[in-house]
Structure 1
Amino acid sequence: MANAKIAVIVGSLRKDSFSRKLAKALMSLAPAGLELKEVAIGQLTMYNQDFDDEGTPPKEWAAFRETMKEYTGVLFVTPEYNRSVPAVLKNALDVGSRPYGQSIWNGKAGAIVSVSPGGLSAFGANHHLRQSLVFLNVLTMQQPEAYIGNAANLFDADGALGNAETREFLHKFMLAFAEWVKKVG
């Protein structure tokens, strides 16, 4: 059986963000059967329906929509901004969900990992994202949930995940996600 292609979408644009570091760790922990690749979202201009209505969507939107069609699943790794998801991530959801009836999200297997330097582990962002994914019909894994707090203490000077307990948890999370992808894919 061929590997399931999984898009990794990072909700932070900062190159050294905790979310990006964690996404790299998750990709390195992926079991056989999953092929993960980060799909960039920072190039997407803000969604404006007029462009779709006029048949003139920006080329970045068209490229993103075509790229996402190649993937059977999506792993979201996001920080929390003001108890919600960052605007760049919400914008990517909106761009991918249009034109109406042509959503690239529909039916994909999904999972969410939220990351925070604080102790609340970006709980608000995780659940806000889940609300959007329900509407978009992303078949989001319910368990195990992944809220990663105190992220500043998890990585070494080179950005590698140095915390063994977190590494073990994330390994189990990725095993569960691989099973979820098989089940819904």
Structure 2
Amino acid sequence: MDTIKVAVFIGSLRKASINRRLARAVAQLAPDDVVFEPVRIDDLPLYDQDFDGDYPAQGKRLKQAVESADALLFVTPEYNRSIPGVLKNALDLGSRPWGTNSFAGKPGGVIGASIGATGSALAQQHLRNVLAYLDVVLLAQPEVYVQFKDDTLIDAEGHVSNEGTQKFLQGFVDRYVAWVRSHLQA
């Protein structure tokens, strides 16, 4: 099989984002023929139905990134028990105008990190609801809720310092990649 391209949506814009670190860790644990490419969402205009007839360049770029990917990975923090507005806006832009949902039928995964005890569990549940409506075929298990109690758990380059966490993330990556491969071969 050719290289599998995974479009990665990181719901945090913060430069030192722990979710960006988590995304890098997952990418490093993947086989060489699976490439994780972050999708830029920091410059997207707020979705407005008024521009459906003349879609903004950033929205077109986002839709093209999704459409050219084989699979999707969403890495979300939890803001006020839900997903960040910037991530929801990207989902709205990528699924519009009506009838041009770029996400439909793509295999996807949802993971996340937080400093809180629930490790983004509620945000992930909200995100899964939105993605189900957008017809993203989601990997159900394993669920990945990483609590960052220690800022050194995953460094800026994605190296995991805790052996148990690395083993857990490797298990997710192995399952995700196998699931994506089976979806693409179907």
Superposition pairs of residues 92-103 of structure 1, within 5 angstroms: 92-103=90-101
Contact 2:22 2:112 in 1 (8 A): no
Q: How far apart, CA to CA, are the structure 2 residues paired with 1:150 and 1:43?
A: 27
Deviations 1:128-179 (A, max 9, x none): 0000011001010001111111354413587632111111111110010011
Q: How far apart, CA to CA, are the structure 2 residues paired with 1:85 and 1:151?
A: 20
* TM-score, L = length of structure 2: 0.93
Q: 1:119 aligns with which of 96, 117, 134?
A: 117
Contact 1:18 1:115 in 2 (8 A): yes
Which residue of the partner structure matches residue 108 of structure 1?
Answer: 106
Unaligned ranges ≥5, structure 1: none
Alpha carbons of structure 1 residues 158 and 56: separation in structure 2 relative to 1, 3 Å = closer
Alpha carbons of structure 1 residues 21 and 140: separation in structure 2 relative to 1, 3 Å = same
Contact 1:33 1:178 in 2 (8 A): no
Alpha carbons of structure 1 residues 94 and 151: separation in structure 2 relative to 1, 3 Å = farther
Q: Counterpart amino acid of 2:87?
A: L
* TM-score, L = length of structure 1: 0.94
Q: Flag as ranges the 4+ runs of structure 1 deviating above 2 A.
A: 150-153, 155-161
Alpha carbons of structure 1 residues 172 and 160: separation in structure 2 relative to 1, 3 Å = same
Q: How far apart, CA to CA, are the structure 2 residues paired with 1:50 and 1:142?
A: 36
Which residue of the partner structure matches residue 84 of structure 1?
Answer: 82
Which residue of the partner structure matches residue 20 of structure 1?
Answer: 20
Secondary structure class of the residue paired with 1:103: coil
Unaligned ranges ≥5, structure 2: none
Which residue of the partner structure matches residue 38 of structure 2?
Answer: 38
What is the aligned-residue RMSD (CA, Å)? 1.5
